[in-house]
Amino acid sequence: MKTLGQHCFAPMRNPRLQSTGPHLIVAMVTPFTPGGEVDRASLRKLVAHLLGGGVREFFVVGSTGESPLLDEPARLAIIETVRAAAPDGVVYAGISGTGHRHAIHHAREAARAGADVAVVMSPYFVALDQAQLADFSTAIADASPVPLALYHHVRMPTPFAVPTVARLAAHPNIIALKDTNGGDHNRCAEILAATAGRPFKFFQGVEKLVLPTLAAGGHGCVVAQGCIAPRLFRALFEAWQAGETGRAEEIQRQLTALWGIFGHRDVKQSFAHFLHTLKLPLHQRGVIATTAGALPRVTFEPQFEQMITDFMMEHLEPRLALPAS
């Protein structure tokens, strides 16, 4: 592997990546047909739904998009479909796998399919020390034809420690970190301090911490619940940018209440149950044709679906009429 500082490319200049305000990036679910194929028609409707809610940046083939369960044709179909449906948007594509060779291959294929940014977690299953994680990430960044964003998640065997993020932020092709840290809002301030003076962005991955992240100087968020509440997140950003602190705090309280469903014991019992909390509301609103996922023959108890419906009626339905400004 190359070491830090041994770069073999010129940094990309992509006009779509230029932004003067905070980034609202939605971690998209992947719609499937009952037969397990990517439902391109529903995916286009989902993009239209998000565009209508003020979203211009899309994270596909991530954990919410069921990336570990996808084969290569499915990954590329998703990226190509979203790119075509949002030609002026920014497409972030997950490239994670069990090693740097997988990630480099995925990055090159994602770029050919139209992705603007590649997003990588630490390796699945394999635990690394921090020096090894830095070398792993550097090898991918050196080879990727598009800029690389790091993705820290508490479920991965190896965390991106703050000093490691600071080292990697010096790489000219590593531009951001999505941080889904389980609720430690201090990491935002620590990483911002450690990367000060560099064109490196911090994106919050926990819905309840979006406003605290903006207040700390963070650069935006990557949120799964943006799939079902894009206008609510956009309203938060607009209130914050307008200096309407009280309104922003009220919207954050609404989003935090919506985020609470992720803590429900039935939602936490499996990854498929988590996804169903996002897909069922989209299906009930006619955005996606089915709630099918990548796993075969998954079914849910009627009581579980009723719980989701009741929760969304209380926490999402009253917010649907919220003005966009």
pLDDT in tens, 269-279: 999 999 999 99
Would 126 be classed as within a structural domain?
A: yes
Residue 325 has pLDDT above 50, yes or no: no
pLDDT at 320: 42
- How far is the C-alpha of 106 from the C-alpha of 95, rounded, in Å? 5
pLDDT at 7: 46
Would 4 be classed as within a structural domain?
A: no
Q: Which domain covers residue 249, as residue numbers? A: 20-319
Q: Mind telling me the catalytic residues?
A: 151, 178
Continuous H helices in 59-158: 72-85, 100-113, 130-143
Would 79 be classed as within a structural domain?
A: yes
Would 10 be classed as within a structural domain?
A: no
Q: State the total domains in the chain.
A: 1
Would 251 be classed as within a structural domain?
A: yes
Residue 76: CATH number of its domain: 3.20.20.70
Q: How many CA atoms lie within 13 A of 116 on its CB side?
A: 23
Would 170 be classed as within a structural domain?
A: yes
Q: How confident is the model at residue 317 (pLDDT cuts 50, 70, 90)?
A: low
Would 252 be classed as within a structural domain?
A: yes
Burial readout 54-64 (b: 16 or more C-beta within 10 A, e: otherwise)? bbbbbbbbbbb
Q: How confident is the model at residue 16 (pLDDT cuts 50, 70, 90)?
A: confident
Residue 197 has pLDDT above 60, yes or no: yes
Bridge partner residues of 118 (DSSP): 93, 148
